[in-house]
A and B are shown apart, each in its own frame.
Chain A
Amino acid sequence: MNQSAHQFFRHRNYRLLLLITEIVVLYLAAAALTGFNSSAWLATDKGIIWLAQNFIPNANSLQYMPDILAQLWQTFLIAVAAASCAAVIAVVLGMLGAQNVGLSKWKVGWLIRGFASVMRNIPIVAWAMILLFSFKQNELTGFLALLFMNIGFLTRAFLETFEDFDVKKMEAIQTTGATYTTSVVQAMLPETAVPLIEWLLYMIENNIRDATLVGLLTGTGIGFIFDLYFKSLQYGAAGMVVVSIAVLVIFLEISSNRIGRLIR
């Protein structure tokens, strides 16, 4: 008994050691292949210190505030519009694709899943660059890039939400003589509304971050003015942009938590 307990722990220690070795080897291999110099970890604090020294908004950078706020508002609007339009499309696609909802006689589920997967997995960088070519440097480009990515993401999320829904509730309403549409509107949508809205709010929050990136690439919105200030070495103003993005994202996170609590 004692012997076997001893063996058990030795065996476990051995496995733990093996796991740690594997991870370390993976890390070293990846570091060598990417040309990463591990001593750069020691410079982590330098970045933070540099950030604190240069990026702290000062009185001088306050004069940029009206510009920054205008761009931030525009970015927020685009984030909301892209997520909401995508949500409308995703509700329709999700219902068509969900296997349990009853539209599955067309057998389009796999097609919709595949479509969502492609839309989601094409990097947003690629969407931005391709769209930039035809739609030029304006906000429509950023909107469309976010929209495409959001359609992919939300379609999959909604589809899975619908598949979790118990269709017996819809059938129960239908036996009372209600039409199919009524049963969807009265039973399924109200029941799934909470998760759908939570996904939508998450998407909006995520869009703010992605919009910064799209803006960097397409020269619009908040990403563009960050790039502008950053490259012209106006770090105070650039810091102001970073702070305002962070404040907006945190504000959205807090509001969506609060909304989540109200609708639960």
Chain B
Amino acid sequence: MEQRAVIESQVRVRAKKKRRLNRRKLTINSVLTVLGILTIYTLATIVPAHFKVIEAVNEFMGNLKIMFLSPNVGNDTFSKLLSALGQSIYLAGLTTIAGAFGGFVMALLSANNLAPRWLSQIMKSLMASIRAIPTILWVLIYSVSLGLGADAAVIGLTFHSVAYLAKVFANSIEELPQDTIEALKVGGIGILPIIAQAVIPTVKSRLLSWTFIRFEINFANAVVVGAAAGAGGIGYQLYMASSFYFDFHEVGMIIYLILAFTFGLELVSRRLRAKFIEA
């Protein structure tokens, strides 16, 4: 009798597992089918009529060759380009520091093991909506109320950093067992000492390496903002060289400078990630 019950439950477990696997397969297949159809439709309609693709590709290849094989400083000087690169790095650094500070506060308010449920839900939705608006639009919005320049760029970039870091910080904080925090709360310890003595020491290294990852993203954003919102830096030089002077030699030089910096960052970031996030 008992044996039969065991067998029946095993059969049920197997059937459940099979259903789950089937559902998984079905979902994967339908996602891939939908994406495939959309892609084929887009590819079929994307090339404009009478567009000479081969000529364009040849020209593009020619430009790439100019860029990568014969870079030079063009109308600017090397030191000017370096200082422009520096500007973008400072912008990235500034917005990362401000973003980490704001993001940490927001993360405390949105981690569901620290904040009350209603607050955590509100904060998470708020952060998600800030993240949904592209960084460049934040910068443009602020450039109307503050004027074009560093102020608008810093505040616009910080907005997105805060929302991004709030999410990843909150995820890290939420990995702390609820029981630990409950126990401390029951012990009569206030929320601030809990944060200072339990939360920060535990998640410190993770937060640092996420902040570093955000620094990489912010550097890319700083370049973008320089080009698309006139906020200066290497992005502005890139924009001028490519769409005003049509000097692909200079574009090449600027890209090499950017690559040199980002490769350095990537090396550091890989070490940090291996040490703190994946371990």
Contact = CB atoms under 8 A, between A and B. Distances in A.
A213 B142 contact: no
Given A36-B150, A125-B238, A212-B134, A118 B259 contact: yes
- Interface residue range, chain A: 35 or more
B155 A81 contact: no
B224 interface: yes
Contact of A36 (B41, B94, B228, B238): B94
Given A34-B150, A37-B151, A213-B228, A123 B238 contact: yes
A88 to B, nearest CB: 9
A130 B136 contact: no
Contact of A27 (B36, B41, B43, B94): B94
A262 B26 CA distance: 9
Nearest to B259: A121
A186 to B, nearest CB: 13
B43 A123 contact: no
Contacts of A29: 90
Interface string A67-109: 0000000000110110011000000000000000000000000
A138 B59 contact: no
B172 interface: no
Interface residues of B, number: 72
B137 A200 contact: no
Contact of B132 (A37, A43, A44, A245): A245
Contacts of A37: 150-151
Interface string A97-140: 00000000000000000000110011111100111111110111
22 contacts: A27-B94, A30-B94, A30-B97, A47-B142, A47-B155, A50-B141, A80-B38, A117-B263, A121-B259, A121-B262, A122-B259, A125-B228, A126-B254, A129-B243, A130-B63, A134-B56, A135-B60, A197-B31, A212-B134, A242-B137, A242-B141, A250-B132
Interface of A: 23, 26-27, 29-31, 33-37, 40-41, 43-44, 46-47, 50-51, 55, 77-78, 80-81, 84-85, 117-118, 121-126, 129-136, 138-140, 143, 193-194, 197, 200-201, 209-210, 212-213, 216-217, 226, 230, 242, 245-247, 249-250, 253, 259, 262-264
